[in-house]
Structure formats: C-alpha cells, structure tokens
Amino acid sequence: MRHVESDDRPERPTLVILAAGQSTRFGRAKQLEPVGPGGGSLLEYAVYDALRAGFGHFVLVVRESQRDEFEARLRPMRGAGISLSLACQRLVHPDLVPLAPPGRVRPWGTGFAVLAAATSLRRRGAFAVCNADDFYGRVAYERLAHALAAPPPGIRAFAVTYSLADTLSAFGGVSRGLCEEQPDGTLLRMTEGLDLRLDGAAQPTGEGADASAVRPDVVGCTPSGAAIRVGADSQACMGLWGFFPDILPLLSRRFRSFLAASPGIDDEFYLSETVSNLVVAERTRCGLVPAGKGWKGVTFPGDHEGVAVSLRQLTDAGAYPVDLWTPHVHAEPVRSAQASLFGPPQALPGGVATAPGRINLIGEHIDYNGLPVLPMALDRHIHLEFEALAHATVELEGDSAHGPFAFRLDRATESAPPGHWSNYVRAAARGLLDHGVELRRGIRGTVTGTVPVAEGLSSSSALVVASALALLHANEEQVEALELAALLARAERHVGVQGGGMDQAASLCGQEGHALRIDFEPLRVTPVPVPEGWRWIIASSLTRAEKAGAVRELYNERRAQCAEALERVGRTSWLEVMEADQAEFATILAGAQKSLPLTLSRRFRHVATEGRRVIEAERALRGENMSAFGRLMNASHASLRDDFGVSTPALDEIVGVARDAGAAGARLTGAGFGGCAVALCGADEAKAVIEALIDGFYAPRGGVGRRALFFADASNGAIVTSE
C-alpha cells in the first residue's frame, strides 16, 4: 500500500476475514452460503461494510482445499477494484508446527488463523479480524476504524462488543468471548464461553423484546468444562477485533506455549483466550468498542432464515443494494469518507499476478539442446499480490521459509547469496531491463503459491513469470507472450542454472485441457489436446531437487556434456541429428557410441532418442493412443536413469509401483536428482494407482502429505488480475 500524504494520516487498515472453520454444527461450508437478496454471503457483506468504513485491503484466511472455491467467489469483488488476497491456514507451519500431531484434523483455531495471515500484514499497519460467517453491521466497522486511526495512549488492541443475549441462537448453544470491563473501559479479562444459551424458558430478546422484561441469565461452560452463569446483558466479543502489528510476535510466542502444553487433537488456540492472557499476564491494554445491536450470525441451519429476513429488510430500507458489487461501491461519498480519515485511495496500478507451474510429460533435458518438448501447464500456481510503487524498488514477502527482501531496480544485476529466492525476482527485472523495458515503478507485495517447491514442477520459473507480469503491469508495459518467455528464459540463467526455455513458455502459454508442443529456434508453442478419460498423477520422491549447490552443478554439467558430445561427433545442431531418417539416425548413434567416451556416448544417445520420442508422443496424443504414449514415457525414464544419470532410487521405486498398479506409463519429470514422477493412467485405474503409491511407497516413509501426491490437470497460462 502506498504511504500516506504528508498530513500524517494513517494508512487504511486491513481486514482479516477468518473463513477456515469446518462449520460442523451448520452441516456444510457456511462461509460462502448465499444469504442476501442478491445471493451475497456474509463474507461479502463484511467486505462491503468495512470498505465503506474506510478499510483498504482484505485478507481471507481459508483452508488450502477451499482456495479455488474462494478464488472464484472473489472475482466480482476484485472486478469492483477491491484489494483482496488469500492466506491458507494449514496444520503445519515451517516455524511453528513443522509436523502435524498424529490424528489432528481440526484447524488450530482463530489465534493461529491470524498468524497464517501474518505475511500479508507486516507492512500494512493496523488491522482488524472478523469471522466470515458473522454479520457485524456497518456501525461496528466504522467505530473500530476510528479507534484504530486514533487509539488512546497505551492501547494495542480493541474488541468490539455486543449484548450477549442479542447474540444467542434459538437452535442451540453457541461460543462467545465473555468480556469483563475495567473502570477505565478497557478489558479486564475475557473468558471463552461454550454452549451458551438462555437459562430456562427462552424469552423474547433483541429489537422486539419488551424493555421492562427481566431476561434470564445465560448459562454454559468454559473450555475446561467449568460452569458459567452470566447476565443476559453481559458484553460479548463476537470475533471482531482491532490490532496493531506488534501483536503478531506476541501471538507467535503464545502459540508456542500452547503447543508445549501438548494439546489434545481437538484443542484450539482461541484468539479471545489469547488476548485475555496477554491482558492479564503481560498487561497488554485492550480497548472495548461497544457496537450496540446489529450483530447477526449463522451457527445452525435454522439461523439462516432469520439472517436472510434481516438482510432483506435492510436492503428494502436502502442500507444495501441487491447486488453488492455494482459500481456504486466506488461512489464519491465512500472515497471522501476514506480520504478524510485514512488519506486518499490508492491510484497506482496493482493486482494479482498468477503463474502456473508445469509438468513435463516427455522431453527431458533436451530443451536447452534446442529440441522440442511436450509439457503442460500445471493447475497449481504462484500468486504475487502486488501494488505499484512510485519509486523503482521491489519489496516482497513470502511465507516464513521465504522471508522479506527489497532491492532497487537499477541494481537488479546484483545477486543475493546463491539459493535465495529473491534472485528469481531479480532475474525477471533484469530480463525486462535488458530487453529495453523501462521500469519506472517498483512493486510491493506478497508471494504465495500451491506449486510444490524444489520438486521439479518449475516453481522457480513460475515465480520469474509472475514477477515479470507484475512489473509490466505496474509500469503499464506489455511484451508478447512468446517474446516474454524467451527473454525470461535467458534471464533465469543469471540465477546460475543453464536451463532451456520450456518452463517459462509453458507457464505463459498454457491452455486448459491441452499439452504443449514447444519448439525452439525460433520459439513456437502448439497446443495438443489431451484425450478425456485419462489422469496424470504427480508423486513426490520426498527428496527436494534444489537447483542450488550440488544439483545446480550436476545440471550444468549435463548441459556441458551434451554440447561437447555434439561437437565431437561433428554435428552442428541436435535438430540435424533428430530429424535424420531412420538409417542415418542409426548410423549416427553407432558412430557416437564408437567415437565418444562412455559417459558422453550415453548423454548423446539420451538426447537424440528423447527428441524422437517427443515427436512420437505428440503423434500418439493426437491419435488418442495413450497406451503408446505410456510406453514412450517408460522408455524416457529408462533413458534418464541409464544414459543421463538423473534418476534416484526413490524415483525408480515410484515409477515401478505405479506401473505395477496399472499405470500406462510413468517417468521422472523435471531435472531429476529428486523431485517428482508423473504417471499416466486411465480414470478407472487412477484410484488403484494412488492407493498402491500410498501403501507401497509413502506408508513405509511415514505417510503422504497433500503436496506429495495429487492429480494434475492442464491449466491456462499466466495472467494478471487488476485491482
């Protein structure tokens, strides 16, 4: 986000929306459940209200399995120009939870969900947290925004509160944060109340209640099982909080203490309980922000109709439009309200650059020799959420394993230490600059992704592509896709790996449902349809193939050996070898075997035969002869293992298990030396192949993770979604 103007108004705060809950009492995912007259979800009403209250950016915390569903629902909001990003809450975390406890399925809770959003918050100043399945009302967001803009001295957090009885459900017990107030209006302590309900016969509550009626107490229990009885008018926090960035290290420390206490497999790290502990033990001052009436929520299926009726009434009264994401959300009164409190809205370009990884189906270690390959863009992506900067600096953050970095664009040629992820972003910038693109503006942003890293699926090239697209968009420049792929292939070699141009072309030119025949000299991409009824399975060898250090040296050694072998047999190009007729090709191979040292002879044979296998594989794919395609995959793996020396025992074992279970073909994919294998199987055999890999390969090694074994489909190429 751009820095505010010289009047020292604070940056507009971020709203973190917690949407990773399992909705066990509701019976289905309720975060996206249509509830408004126009089909809007409570999540969308939260964004609408918070936007009008002055919030400038939104981070949704979701489970990884929900990501695609949420991305689809975010498109109308992004199309309305709203700055949105996703963060995934997982059971594992590189710094906090390296290995999930056995049997743990339940998410770690609301406190941990905030930590999952940390990389999107560090540079954004004040932020709020809310639940995706609650309706808080615009008044609550306005009061919280004002509190965050001008906090009383010493206040580091805020809790928005409501009258407890007005938040209960007629359909069962609920969980609430019960607040006790100090004389100065700050929080004394907060207790997590579970299974809360009115004691005895329920009496009317809420807007239609008789003001003179004495409402019964509310009863329930604490997480430890202790009984609770409190007054119906007690203040309850419904999960709407305000914080400043210095709360994040405190949350991290508290979560470590929570883990050290060996929690049960269903115990949760509650945000409310954590804030209360910080207030009591560390004297963190938390202000209370009463919001009056207006909260509504969906805990049980029966709650849905009441909330829908309320929203319909509010819409009829003019508080909301039927369609939340028409252009009125950017009306001048909203802009003026935001500018008066938080400074003018962002004007420079921004958005999300999304680039897919790739699977190479056949044609390994031959792109850098100028021979055709047959990959497809992978339906797993690198996402770079960015905003343009007025100055020529790149400032990016990743997850905890890929920390923040910054560099000036006029110094993009200066590398970070080998293996540092910033080198791929620097390569993208350097490639554009070398190509003559004027980069007047830099970018600030956050990188996330679902492409497994160092697994031979081209996560690094996807990062290069996403970075280049973000820089082009920020500077309002364009480069044609094939031209961009070629310049980025050259630029990525500055990282130290002397690769070819397959990965960048596949990421930029992918087409859903198609493999890609990629030719070089000149670069050309030809989509090839993949027949229906067949599945690609990706299986990790559980050995990372980092293209730094030893793997980089082995990779570059193979490229040098190929060049030497070609020169020593007196040929000018590998295309000349590959395109020879059958008799001449056999003569060339025999001559190479006789004249070259054993290692170079084997390298020569792999490149020459692999190029011809690509041509045959394309023919098989177009003819829907997948059995023939599988046999070519098997031959490719044997060549990579025996002649090129890039397989490993683990990759060989995966390939063998998959074939024995019915796969038509299997081979390592990517550079080798670890990473992944790809198996081709009919849809009817897919389950058996997956189960065989789990039982035969992963179970003896401690089990399989979400990113280690998965189905893959062909994806469209990289894109920038504007904000």
Across the strands, what pairs with 176? 193
Look up residue 50 and give its DSSP letter: H
Give me the helix-helix angle, 502-509 and 459-474, nearest 10°: 60
Q: Given 49, 399, 503, 643, which residue is catalytic?
A: 503
Per DSSP, helices labelled H in 6-102 are: 42-53, 67-79
Residue found under tokens 């918050």: 121
Q: Report the DSSP beta bridge partners of residue 396.
A: 405, 445
Q: How far apart are CA 633 and CA 665, in angstroms?
A: 5
Burial class of 575 by CB neighbour count within 10 A (0 to 12, 13 to 18, 19+): middle
Radius of gyration of the chain (CA): 29
CA dist 304 and 30 (Å) reads 10
Please report where in the chains the tokens 């293996």 appear, as a residue.
419
From the list 179, 167, 158, 165, the residue with the least C-alpha distance to 133 is: 167
Q: SS in 3 state form for 193-258?
A: EEEEEECCCCCCCCCCCCCCCCCCCEEEECCCCCEEEECCCCEEEEEEEEECCCHHHHHHHHHHHH
Confirm if 252 and 258 have CB atoms less than 8 A apart.
Answer: no
DSSP secondary structure string for all residues of 348-417: S-EEEEEEEEEEEEE-TT-GGGT--BEEEEEEEEEEEEEEE-SSSEEEEE-STTS--EEEEGGGTTS--S
d(CA 709, CA 712): 10
Record the tokens describing residue 671, joined without a space. Answer: 């550079």
By three-state DSSP, how is residue 690 classified?
Answer: helix
The full length of the chain comes to: 723
134 is catalytic: no
User: Hey, which residues are catalytic here?
Assistant: 503
